[in-house]
Structure 1
Amino acid sequence: MDSGDELRAKFMEFPYVSGSQRNLMVELLSSVDSRLGSSLQPCTLPPDVQHFENPTGSARASLHLRSGLPSSQIDFILGGWIHCELPSGGALNITSLSAYLKPSTDAPHFLLELIQSSPTSLVLILDLTPRKDLILYSDYLKTYYEDTNLDKHRQRLQTLPQVKPYLSPSLYIRAVVSPTAILVCIDTEDDETTNVEDIIRDHVGPIAKELLQFWIESCACLERRVGEAERDYLAERDRIIKTKTIEVDLGSSFPRLFGQEVADRVLDVLKEYYSK
């Protein structure tokens, strides 16, 4: 059986993506470890959930989840990669990093997802997902999104001719993200001078690292206590969001990619963490 260190090393390989994307994910996860590692427990996922594949070996995935210590504001941080060979001969590659905070703070969660189904195109989802109604709590909108000028990242990225807005087919995703969320499609098929790897290295990477650093310093590490009633509200809202993430996202894609038996095994374990 693989040891925890061996499984983590296998996870950190990101073996199926470009060098720029691999470097970005390793840098982001290294930042999490160096800045928040003392507030996190080691990964306790079973080995067959940390790394798994479908019966034919055409789809593989690796997950690494670290829960926050009782004294931490962090609920858990989950990183992952998925690789699936497509019937067309190409491959679907997804890399992701999500971080959830406890209801002891109302600061936003963190979300990054890179979805690539061809060498020339990539969908990027990057956001600090709000945990309050931004109309009802206008001070929350001002504190985390207006005064911080978070929208500059989306504006900067969308000045590139290869970048277009991405409209998620999931109404749930469109409802849960913030007004400053980066949801874009990067397409370099008709560009002979620039490729997706260049854009990840020169543009996506710096923005993702800056946003993660802001989340670490201003959300995960900055104490922002809430009252008991508000804590109950946050706990229920977070529970719904995490339940929907399992149902709408993972619950629909994992059986198709990995088969029902493997999907059930992995999802049953993740549900334990998502429902805490």
Structure 2
Amino acid sequence: MAVVFRHLSLLSPLPPPPSPSRSPSSRSSSARFAAAAASSSSSSRSPSPASPMEAADKFMEFPHVSAPHRSLMIDLVSAVEERLGSQLLPCALPHDVRYYQSDAGSARGSLYVRRGQGPSKVDFLLGSWLNCQLPTGGSLNITSLSVYLNNSTDAPNFLFELIRSSPTSLVLILDLPPRKDLVTDPDYLSTFYEDTQLESRRQVLDKLPEAQPYFSSALYIRCVVSPTAIMLRIESGAGKAERLDEIVENHVSPVAKEVLGIWLDKCAAVDRNVEEEERAYLGRRDGIIKRKTIEIDLGSSFPRLFGPEIAKRVLDVLREVYGV
């Protein structure tokens, strides 16, 4: 359901379209978690083109976010790959999609995809980050991790996004988006949302004094999240950037890891009896959501950030990954 760019409405107004960018060349290299955790130097913020090695490793660096934010993303990606890595193919994206930036250096991003293989229930893992300079002089940083299951199971997918639009403000999206109608299938609601006590995790963060509900401007997005979805705007107050980092480290991180653990144990690792007719339904439903993801999340904002050439290159890859 989610890609990293859904909340570009936070950019008001968006920067003007950049001129076509020259994409950096690249050669193959595996991202190593230990190196990624240590690689957040100020040089990574330079608008100059990345070297081939940088293009290959950029995703796991999360170079533009705070240390607690970076650690959380690395931990989540690592947990998924440690549990599901044997079921996943290596990332085979073109290097000018794994890392890309506008010619002016005002926007840059990274995309990471690993597809499921063999009998795996995983369709694909998708991770991404985006850094964009705001007209106000600040920057918008969005990091995202989602895992889509295929139609051999009807279990929910996994979705996590952190959108930080200032040092003291962020939006958190954390959910196991359902793949069936919860009204007509109460057993599904009970199995994945009631028995797992996901609501208690939502309430933990909802009770933070700095938290308030977040409502996506896209009504369609509101229709496809679960009743236990964590969708919060967290404001720490003027001059309290350190407090926001404390919230990420001490509150958001533990809950996110618990929810991911529930998904890994109760969704990704459990065999579900899905008949052929239901598989066809899941395929149609998943396809609609993936297509809407491209249309709603990326359709207009992405070309305005990166220009038509880069936007087309990245969107074409995403459409191929999503199968739409």
TM-score (norm. length: structure 1): 0.97
SS in 2 for 1:104: coil
- Alignment check: 8 A CA contact 1:8 1:64 kept: no
Identical residues among aligned pairs (%): 57
Instruction: Find out whether 1:243 has 2:268 as its counterpart.
Output: no
2:121 aligns with 73
C-alpha contact 1:99 1:110 (8 A) present in aligned 2 = yes
* Equivalent residue in structure 1 for 2:158, among 106, 110, 113: 110
2:137 corresponds, among 53, 78, 89, to 89
Q: Which has the bigger relative contact order, CA under 8 A and spacing at least 6?
A: 2
Partner SS for 2:299: helix
Alignment match, 1:149:
197
1:3 paired residue among 1, 16, 28: 28
User: Residue in 2 aligned with 1:28?
Assistant: 76
Residues 28, 209 of structure 1: 8 Å contact kept: yes
Could you tell me how far apart the structure 1 residues matched to 2:111 and 2:260 are? 19
Counterpart residue type for residue 184 of structure 2: L
Which residue pairs with 1:19 in the alignment? 67
1:221 to 265, 269, 280: 269
| 2:178 corresponds to | 130
Deviations 1:194-213 (A, max 9, x none): 61110000000001111111
Deviating more after overlay: 187-196 vs 71-80: 187-196
Paired residues in the alignment total: 276
With normalisation by structure 2, the TM-score equals 0.83
Shift of 1:254: 1.1
Deviations 1:55-76 (A, max 9, x none): 2111000011000002100000
| Stretches of structure 2 lacking an aligned partner (at least 5 in a row) | 1-25, 31-52
Counterpart of 2:307? 259
SS of equivalent residue, structure 2 residue 256: helix
Structure 1 CA distance for aligned equivalents of residues 293 and 265 of structure 2: 26
1:147: Cα distance to partner? Answer: 1.5
TM-superposition CA deviations, 1:19-42 (whole Å, max 9, x none) = 000000000111111111000000
d(CA) in 2 for partners of 1:96, 1:104? 25
Moved over 6 A (4+): none
Structure 1 residue 211 and structure 2 residue 259: aligned? yes
- SS of corresponding position for 1:88: coil
By how many angstroms is 1:119 displaced? 0.4
Displacement of 1:252: 2.7
1:103-124: CA deviations, max 9, x gaps? Answer: 0100000111111110000000
The residue type equivalent to 2:316 in the other structure is: D
- Are the structure 2 counterparts of residues 154 and 260 from structure 1 closer, same or farther at C-alpha, using a change threshold of 3 Å? same
- Aligned partners of 2:59 and 2:128 also within 8 Å: yes
List alignment gaps of at least 5 residues for structure 1. Answer: none
Q: Which residue of 2 is the match for residue 164 of structure 1? A: 212
**5-14 or 122-131, which deviates more:** 5-14
Q: Is the Cα–Cα contact under 8 Å of residues 56 and 99 in structure 2 kept in the other structure? A: no
AA matched with 1:4: S
Residue type at the aligned position of 2:306: F
Change in Cα spacing, 1:162 to 1:49, as seen in structure 2 (3 Å) is same
Range with greater deviation from structure 2 (188-197 or 119-128): 188-197
Q: Which amino acid aligns with 1:112?
A: F
Correspondence 1:274 to 2:292:
no
The 3-state SS of whatever aligns with 1:168 is coil
CA–CA separation in structure 2 for the residues paired with 1:248 and 1:241: 10
- Whether the 8 Å contact between 1:81 and 1:96 is mirrored in structure 2 is yes
SS of 1:206 mapped into structure 2: helix
Between the aligned partners of 2:60 and 2:256, the Cα distance in structure 1 is 18
Q: Is the 8 A contact 1:150 1:180 kept in 2?
A: yes
| Greater share of strand | 1
